[in-house]
């Protein structure tokens, strides 16, 4: 019962992140197009045309990376690892997952002082808090940490049967 509800919530979160990333891409394209038209046609470039797309780009990137991590589509070279026997392979993959988890945990840990430092300031042209620019790294890293941990568990479960055959 609860796993069905959790699966639905998980799928809903994935779809939300996916569609939010897509909407942000459309917004970025519209802002850049508007800025180019304003600059070259009307000779009046909007001041916010540099900061706003940068903020939206960071959010789009880190939310999109979280979706890619959940789907297991992060970049990795599998040419050699595919040729390894199941037992050493699961050990190597677990080690690689642990390295990624350590990197993400470190990134999250050191992002909090940066968020605290930037909390009081605001961007000049938009007036938005600097947190809008720095928060995507933290939010995306937390999502990636969660999904990477799940990938590690799935990797172990996938090779569990094959390891039993080796022993």
pLDDT at 1 over 60: no
pLDDT in tens, 94-147: 898 999 999 999 999 999 999 999 998 999 888 899 999 999 999 999 999 999
pTM metric for this prediction: 0.83
> What mean pLDDT is predicted for residues 30-36?
94
pLDDT at 167 over 50: no
Surface-to-core class of residue 113, CB atoms within 10 Å of its CB (0-12 exposed, 13-18 middle, 19+ buried): exposed
Binning the chain into helix, strand and coil, the percentages to the nearest 5 are: 80, 0, 20
Distance CA 124, CA 112 (A): 23
**Looking at 16-20, 29-33, 42-46, which range is the least confident one?**
42-46
Q: Where are the domains of the chain?
A: 2-166
């Amino acid at each position: 019962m609860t796993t069905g509800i959790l699966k639905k919530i998980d799928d809903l979160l994935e779809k939300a992140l996916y569609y939010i990333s897509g909407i942000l891409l459309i917004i970025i394209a519209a802002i850049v197009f508007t800025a180019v038209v304003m600059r070259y046609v009307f000779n009046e470039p909007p001041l916010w045309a540099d900061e706003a797309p940068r903020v939206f780009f960071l959010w789009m990137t880190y939310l999109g990376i979280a979706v890619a991590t959940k789907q297991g589509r992060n970049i990795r070279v599998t040419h050699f690892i595919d040729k390894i026997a199941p037992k050493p392979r699961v050990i190597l993959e677990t080690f690689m997952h642990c390295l990624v988890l350590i990197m993400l945990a470190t990134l999250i840990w050191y992002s909090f002082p940066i968020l605290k430092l930037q909390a009081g300031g605001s961007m000049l042209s938009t007036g938005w808090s600097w947190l809008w620019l720095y928060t995507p790294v933290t939010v995306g890293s937390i999502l990636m940490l969660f999904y990477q941990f799940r990938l590690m568990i799935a990797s172990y479960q996938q090779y569990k049967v094959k390891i039993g055959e080796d022993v």
